[in-house]
Structure 1
Amino acid sequence: MKKMSEHIVIWEGLWNLCEDNGLHGQRCMPYNSLPILPQDLQLITCVSNINNEEKIKMVASGLFLGVVLLLLVPVSWVTHNVILGIANPLIISQWKPEMGASLYLG
């Protein structure tokens, strides 16, 4: 039996349920099935017979490559223009552009 003085804290995570009574530590258990989860946290399958983990990896890889290309184009364009400005002898040295930290990070 549990004493009335014990205080149990229940934490509900995305994929598991944990309880902490302070004396015996924390005990976690995964949810038994997806219907327990709210609808916005359930994974909806788009294509059957393919592992969900592999689908997520493929979509994440595609998004990553798309973002890299979207970042690479403007950074390369600005870097090209700065390099042309540095090499241009007609520009006064006071007004010559320089490579900034943001271009190096990009």
Structure 2
Amino acid sequence: MADRHLHILWTNADPDTSEHMVMMYATNGMLRGWWDQITVIIWGATQKYVINDEAIRARMDIAKKAGVTFSACIGCAVNLGTKDALEEMGIEVTPWGERIALLQQEGKHLLSI
């Protein structure tokens, strides 16, 4: 069976890109059955954006209800001081550097925004 798990590496904290690409595609990807699983990896400046913007958090809640999972890079979270806030939001904070390398090396589906 084909791998139907998409990872979205979300590094762009632009509100329009975040809402009209990342959240829209992730949510519709699950609701319309384009993917069996979608994991959005919150990386870099996007972590501060997620913590500080109520509108994007509302879009994330909609995506979560559709089945999208969210995870954040622990290295970024420690450096940016966002770890505790992300965890309080229920977002997994974990090492992603090596995992992203493995995803690419294994030919898995990774969309970088």
TM-score range, shorter chain: under 0.3
TM-score of the superposition, structure 1-length normalised?
Answer: 0.23
Which structure shows the bigger proportion of residues in strand conformation? 2
Kindly indicate whether structure 1 or structure 2 has the higher relative contact order, using CA contacts under 8 Å at least 6 residues apart.
2
Which structure shows the bigger proportion of residues in helix conformation? 2
Bigger Rg, which one: 1
